[in-house]
Structure formats: structure tokens, C-alpha cells
Amino acid sequence: MRTAPTILHLDMDAFFASAEQASKPSLRGKAVVVGGLGPRGVVATASYEARVFGVNSAMPMAQARRLAPNAAYLVPRFGFYRSISEQVMALLRALSPLVEPLSLDEAFVDLEAGEAAWDAESARRAGERLRADIRAVTGLTGSVGLAASKMLAKIASERAKPDGLVLIEPGSERALLGPLSVRTLPGVGPATGDHLRRAGITTVDEIAEAGEDELVRLVGKAHGHALYAMALAHDERPVVAERETKSVSVEDTYDVDIHDRIRVGLEVQRLADRCVRRLRGAGLSGRTIVLKVRRYDFSTLTRSETLRGPTDDPGVVREAAARLLDSVDTTGGVRLLGVGVSGLADYTQEDLFAQAAGEQADLLEEEHAEEEEGGEQTAPVERRWPSGHDVRHSGFGHGWVQGSGLGRVTVRFETPEDVGPGRVRTFRTDDPELEPAEPLPLVTRDAGEPTAASGQLVAPPPENRRPAAPPAASAQVSSEPASLPKSRSGREGGGATSRP
């Protein structure tokens, strides 16, 4: 393991909820819950104000509403979150070529590989500068952990939340880990944690005391060896810049079970098309088509078919998914459907027969649509206005949907630059002056000023680079113990982005 805390772990604070608070002045400092709003929806992220009421990620939305009935409940805007994530990742890559993203809001960085840090003092400077840059570029806050290994850096960032920085000094790892719960270690979930608890093991120190042989007996060979090594603070995993994508998939959970077999088939076709769009967006193709069906009784069935060669043709994927659906009994009802493609490659070898069949089906569909245009006009479909999504009104400007129903949609007109809450107006859902809009940037920058999104970010300044011959003083490790309170710029305000 390294002798300097040059591995950095960044975790954005309540990312989705904080982004919503930053873009909606009326929600700053208030409880915000982002996730699926249907009866079977789950919480994606809850602001720190909502967590006070016991609302947490992955909780059923119905339970969250019971705990925090007055919170703002919003539908995720993943495109918006992704654009902010790209800005943050650009800042990380300006620090080092070795950046390992774990999700939109979380990543490891090898500061040593980018010569951005070589000891505790330089690592702390790099971490503080990163936090300041993230706030300046995105308006949001992130928590930073610094340590000599990935496991400890992630533990440090958890202790730094919200909006702080914690550095674990090399040599203090065992003392820090010892009293912590076994659930702190990566790979120890509820099931493994309960199993260890029944054996009388509840802390990391007790894992180390139990010994490697006992752990292997309790949880198996591979997991036992890994747990024992982590309890001793041994983690040699490198920061990996690129992770190979193994599959591309999409799935939907339905508020009400689908019993109509024709409707199930149409949903599978729609999911297949979405999957192909995502596949093509990544510049990939695949040879194995996977269908996932979760039935009314929560039983989950997976079926797959491997083609002669990789494809990214929607007709091929639709045909394969339809064949897979034929082998699944859906008479009791379906609550979830998913379509995926694995066995990925960066080239295609089309199934010409299926492709021709798909093209013919598309042609028939177009002809059918043309025939309907010449016949009796059908009633227009009512436009949907998801809560929290952006809209623009020709008279009132930019706003976001507070709620909709019974043919009406309520909009609050405000922008990220506004100081206070904006005014609220209600319209018909078919109002011609109201249209969906793209999200506004959280931070307005002057023309020509470099931004993370523009790709014009430069490397860290010379003072953050390792000198050719660092003086003796700069090589001294800070004497601050890892267990001291984290360094942060303000604790009050929870997830509100207006913290000083």
C-alpha cells in the first residue's frame, strides 16, 4: 500500500436533490425527494433536509411520503444530472489521467499519477482546490476523502459528508477502522452483516481477531480472504481509468400490473428500441439479446438468445426479444419488463433476414399511419408534465412543473439565478403557449471563460505540482489525526446549495 494519501474519492452531496435545489430557488433549504412518483416508485436521492425525517435512497416512495408528506417530490432529470457530472469529471481529469468513475456523482482519482500530490500536505491542497472548483463550476458541493488506498479514501469521504474533506494519515488506518461496524467494509451488505453478527462479530477489530481461517469458514474462501485483508487495512486495488462495458439494458416498472398479452408485446418492442438507441449512442453492438420479466408474484425470469454476430439493428433486437417473450407465461400479470444486449463489440454483422423483416414491419407501420391520416381524426393525446421538469411559457418565461392533473398543470416561474421563490401560475395541459424546455445552467459564466463542459480546463497550477526537489518541510506529514472532525466550509443547511 502507498505511503502517502494520494488516492482521492469524490462523492457529490445528495447529488440529484442538490441539483434540483440549486436550479429551483423555492426549494433551497427545504426537503426534496427525487425518484419515481408512481405507486411502485423508489427514492433515487433525498436532500439532507428530507433525511432528517428518515427518508433515504432506495426507499419505496409511498413510505417516503408517509415520513415526509410536505417534501417536494420530483421526477428525475437524468440528462441534466449527466451534464453536471460531465463538468465534474472534467475537473477530475484535469487533476490526473487516472480517474475511475463509479457513477454520475462518484469517482476515484490517482493524484500521484497526475503529479497533483505526493504527500499529505499536497494531497490536502489538491482536495481543497477541487472542492472549490466544483462549487465555482457547478454551484454544488462535494465531499472528498484522501487516503493511501481506495477503500480508505471512500470511508474518508463518507466521514466528510456533507461538504467536507477528511484525510487519513498513513499508519493510522488500523486505529481508525477498528471500532467501526463491519458494514463499513466494501462487500459487507445486510445479509453478510447479519451472518457475522450471529457469529459474534460486529466490528472491524473483531474481524481481525477472528482470523482468516474463521472468516473463510463463515463466509466462504474468496469473501473470507478479502474481508480479513480489508480489516487489516490492506487494499492494493489500483485506480482504473477505463471500465469495459459488459452490457447495455433498459427496463420499466409499471404502476399497475400488465395482463394484456398484446400490451406486454408492445412494451417489449418499445424497450428494444430504447435499448438500441442507447447501444448506438455508445458506439457498440452486441450478439446476445436478454429479456427480463418480473411477474405479479415478484418472480423474475430471464431469457436470452445469442445471434450469429453482433448487431445494433432495432429490427433484429425486436425480433429476438419477441421470440424470447413467446417462452414466458405472463397470464398472471407483469410488473417489470427489461431488454438488454450483451456480448458487446464495436462492429456489426447483421442478421439480414431479421433486418429485412424489421424494415418490412416499419414500412407497413408507415403505410398504416398514412391510411389513418386520410381517415377519421383521432382525439389528441394529452401532454404529460412530469413534476420538476422544465417548461417555458411565451408570456412568463422559464419555469418548472409543480404538479399536474385533471387537465391542469401548475408551474412555478423561476431560474437558478433568482434570489427568492418565483410566482406560480396554473394552465390547461394543452395550453399552446406552454412547452417543455431544456434545463438552464446552474452557474452562468462569462463568454469565453473556460468551463469543464467546454473541455478547456487546464492542468493544476504549478504550486499544486510536485517540485523537482521538494524541500524537507514539504515532505513532512501533517500530525492531524484521522479521527479529528472533518475540515469543511459550513455544516448548517444540510443539502442546501446556498451554504457559505
Q: How many CA atoms are closer than 13 Å to the CA of 73, on its beta-carbon side?
A: 22
Backbone angles phi, psi at 293, to 5 degrees: -130, 120
Cβ contact 133:88 at 8 Å: no
Cα distance between residue 460 and residue 458, in whole Å: 7
Question: What residue type is assigned to position 310 of the chain?
Answer: P
Residue 112 designated active-site:
no
Residues 106-128 as b or e (16 or more Cβ within 10 Å = b) = bbbbbbbbbbbbbbbbbbbebbe
Distance CA 148, CA 163 (A): 21
Amino acid sitting at position 42: V
DSSP letters spanning 108-132: EEETTTTTS-SSHHHHHHHHHHHHH
Selected catalytic residue, list 100, 106, 319, 350: 106
Going by C-alpha positions, the residue among 53, 19, 10, 11 that lies closest to residue 495 is 19
CA separation for the pair 492, 495 (Å, rounded): 9
- What are the φ/ψ torsions at residue 342 (nearest 5 degrees)? -125, -170
Q: How many CB atoms lie within 10 A of CB 135?
A: 17
Residues with a catalytic annotation lie at 106
